Structure 1
Amino acid sequence: MIIVPLKEGENIEKALKKFKRKYEKTGVVKELRRRQAFEKPSVRNRKQKIHAVYVQQLRRMEE
């Protein structure tokens, strides 16, 4: 839980800025995006192999 201490008579915009800064530092949004874009290891390996074949074909064409 994020706690933002406020001073007496502090501006609400300033308090929101503090909250946003603390929230970003926790890395919640970054972790959420990483989990949403999860890729199974088998799919990742297949993509790497397809890319390797593509790069190899490009190098053969250059020779």
Structure 2
Amino acid sequence: MIFVEVKEQEGLDRALKRFKKKIERVRVLKQARARMHYVKPTMRRKAERARAIYRSKMQMREV
């Protein structure tokens, strides 16, 4: 479980921001969303391939 202590003279917004950062690092939300629905292995590979193609196109544009 993730805990964030609110320090003295620290606003709640700042503590909430630190909490969100910790969650991102642990990738809890990403894993939870991925597990909400079953994705067939073939569809997962297809999405990974599409993401790789997109990334390579973006890298080619930068160069």
Runs of 4+ residues deviating >3 angstroms: none
Q: Please list the CA deviations of residues 18-58 of structure 1 after superposition, one character each: whole Å capped at 9, or x if unmatched.
A: 011111111111112222342344xx28xx7xxxxxxxxxx
TM-score of the superposition, structure 2-length normalised? 0.52
Q: Higher relative contact order by CA 8 Å / sep ≥ 6: 1 or 2?
A: 1
Q: CA RMSD in A?
A: 2.2
Matches of 2:39 and 2:5 in 1, distance apart?
A: 40
Q: Mark the runs of 5 or more structure 1 residues left unpaired by the alignment.
A: 49-63
Q: Which has the larger radius of gyration?
A: 1
SS at match of 1:9: coil
TM-score of the superposition, structure 1-length normalised? 0.52
Q: Mark the runs of 5 or more structure 2 residues left unpaired by the alignment.
A: 47-63
Alignment coverage as a number of residue pairs: 44
